[in-house]
Structure 1
Amino acid sequence: MTTTSQAVTAEIAEPIGTITLRAARRRNPLSRSVMREATRLLRDLSSDARVRVIVLAAEGPAFSAGHDLAEVHGATLDDERSIFAACAELMATVHDVAQPVIAQVQGMALAAGCQLVATCDLAIAADDARFSTPGVKIGLFCSTPMVPLTRAIGRKRAMQMLLTGEMVDAATAVEWGLINAAVPAAELTEEVHQLATRIAASSADTLAIGKRAFYAQIDATEPEAYRLMTETMAANAVTCDAREGIGAFLEKRQPVWADRTGP
């Protein structure tokens, strides 16, 4: 795929689209330009019918050290607003795209890098990966990383990370729900590929309905969530793929989804 930045690129190997942070020597900082490019690439991959799952990966010894502090330091208030608005747009886009987004994490994921991991629908990390929101140590509290972090791991654990800035190891990140699994570093890429492939076997339309529904109900009250999901499930049940899938189950055969010619 085309890209205007060598710091972040995208490629498709059906049915998986992969966005890769490539500024390995600088620990893949999330500069404003990188965040805007990653946002554009997410939207491009989402609009490609070949892509059923998106992976966010990174080159080098770190997933991402977070914001580019050289860009943040000394900027005007309007520039700071622009930087953090680009960050918020990237995180929102991860949720807005129809496909499930999996973070593939090695090394450190710090500050906005940790925020990106917490935002992704799923996250698999190397077992030596570490996570931190260390902004408190440099006078810049990790307020935007706090948004997905609190929703992923809960108030007390998030406050511990935010107030201390201390590292959390991969095993703890699994226990807390920040990531789904930690695997040996040599197996990370294959583990993510297998997970993405299993997910991609399902109907693309059904996955999109489910992802959209998840974020619609997650912060709603229970009665409102049931109201929303009752309508969602009813509308889902009359789609072509739901009828095909239920029919295939009853007939003891493999379903053929509307977006492909075979199971």
Structure 2
Amino acid sequence: MDTSPLATHEDVLLREDDGGVVVLTLNRPAQFNALSEEVLSALQTALDEIASDERVRCVVIAAAGRAFCAGHDLKQMRANPSQDYYETLFAKCSRVMQGIVNLPVPVIAKVQGMATAAGCQLVASCDLAVAARSATFAVSGINVGLFCSTPAVALSRNIPPKRAFDMLVTGRFISADEALSSGLVSTVVPDAELNAAVATLTDEICSKSPVAIRTGKAMFGQQRTMSLEEAYRYAGNIMACNMMAEDAAEGIDAFIERRKPIWKGH
């Protein structure tokens, strides 16, 4: 396993590559991994590199220390009190979140401690989220006079509107189990089992055809924006194309012959 910090002066993001799995670890534990400009830039660089690397099978976004992510760096924001600065900052953050959504491979949030405001947005932007049972979630900008408008975009695409709006206007923290029941996270495990649960999930993803996984992620996101009729037409075309892939032929033949498939796609 190769472990190396990205080229940032604070080493605010660590990257590990292991067998097709890339782990990006937010590394500002003393600041509860707040999303400073430097963190956002490091994340964007990493996402851009991963997007063009066909060897990558899935990505895990993790965090050092007791918290997953406390949202934007409020001290840095207050040190730059101009609307132009804020618009640029939020555009940079939005690009990162969309980069996660648009990445061609699954992205898993590995959540311990609190995930608040843009930290909760980060969880919501990932394809899957595995949370420790003690984890908590909130979009708490309202408590400091700031409605979490950009986090609301990701949140409202994960959970029912009334639950999302309740979180947005109250700033109330919800438990990992509440996050699971509302659809914000996909799995909740005992704290001591978080590492093992994420490893099991990445192993499962990496055991599948890379062609099918990449096809599926792109298709799943796209069809959600369509009408039912459009979605079926689009999905049928995608599935027909997928059937023509070498991996699909190999997988079906292996099933018929009762053997393990040997994937060749990237």
Please give the residue correspondences for 1:76-87 in structure 2 after superposition, counting only pairs within 5 Å: 76-87=82-93
Q: 1:135 & 1:229 partners in 2: Cα distance?
A: 39
Residue 219 of structure 1 deviates from its aligned partner by 2.4
Residue 47 of structure 1 deviates from its aligned partner by 3.1
- Choose which of 162, 165, 171 in structure 1 pairs with 2:168: 162
Q: 1:191 & 1:2 partners in 2: Cα distance?
A: 24
User: How many aligned positions are there?
Assistant: 260
CA contact (8 A) 2:132 2:191 kept: yes
Q: Specify the SS of the correspondent of 2:104.
A: coil
Q: 2:153 & 2:187 partners in 1: Cα distance?
A: 22
- Choose which of 10, 13, 17 in structure 1 pairs with 2:18: 13
Gaps of 5+ in 1: none
Residue 50 of structure 1 deviates from its aligned partner by 3.5
Q: Specify the SS of the correspondent of 1:109.
A: strand
Please give the residue correspondences for 1:136-151 in structure 2 after superposition, counting only pairs within 5 Å: 136-151=142-157
What is aligned with 1:23?
A: 28
- Choose which of 241, 255, 265 in structure 2 pairs with 1:249: 255
Matched, 1:39 2:44: yes
Gaps of 5+ in 2: none
- Letter of the structure 2 residue corresponding to residue 229 of structure 1: A
Q: TM-score, normalised by structure 2?
A: 0.94
Identity of aligned residues (%): 42
Matched, 1:96 2:102: yes
- Letter of the structure 2 residue corresponding to residue 196 of structure 1: T
Q: 1:235 & 1:31 partners in 2: Cα distance?
A: 42
Residue 48 of structure 1 deviates from its aligned partner by 3.2
Q: Deviations over 1:197-226 (max 9, x none)?
A: 111101111101000001101121111111
Q: Specify the SS of the correspondent of 1:56.
A: strand
Residue 113 of structure 1 deviates from its aligned partner by 0.2
Q: Specify the SS of the correspondent of 2:131.
A: strand
CA contact (8 A) 2:117 2:138 kept: yes
- Letter of the structure 1 residue corresponding to residue 70 of structure 2: A
- Letter of the structure 2 residue corresponding to residue 9 of structure 1: L
Q: 1:151 & 1:132 partners in 2: Cα distance?
A: 15
Q: Name the stretch that deviates more: 19-28 or 215-224.
A: 215-224
Q: Specify the SS of the correspondent of 1:152.
A: coil
Q: Name the stretch that deviates more: 36-45 or 152-161.
A: 36-45
Please give the residue correspondences for 1:1-263 in structure 2 after superposition, counting only pairs within 5 Å: 1=4, 3-5=6-8, 6-73=11-78, 74-259=80-265
Q: TM-score, normalised by structure 1?
A: 0.95
Q: Name the stretch that deviates more: 73-82 or 184-193.
A: 73-82
Residue 80 of structure 1 deviates from its aligned partner by 0.7
Q: 2:18 & 2:103 partners in 1: Cα distance?
A: 18
Q: 2:84 & 2:247 partners in 1: Cα distance?
A: 47
Q: 1:3 & 1:22 partners in 2: Cα distance?
A: 11
Q: 2:81 & 2:248 partners in 1: Cα distance?
A: 52
CA contact (8 A) 1:15 1:197 kept: no
Q: Deviations over 1:118-152 (max 9, x none)?
A: 11000001100000001111111100110111110
Residue 182 of structure 1 deviates from its aligned partner by 1.3
Q: 1:112 & 1:188 partners in 2: Cα distance?
A: 22
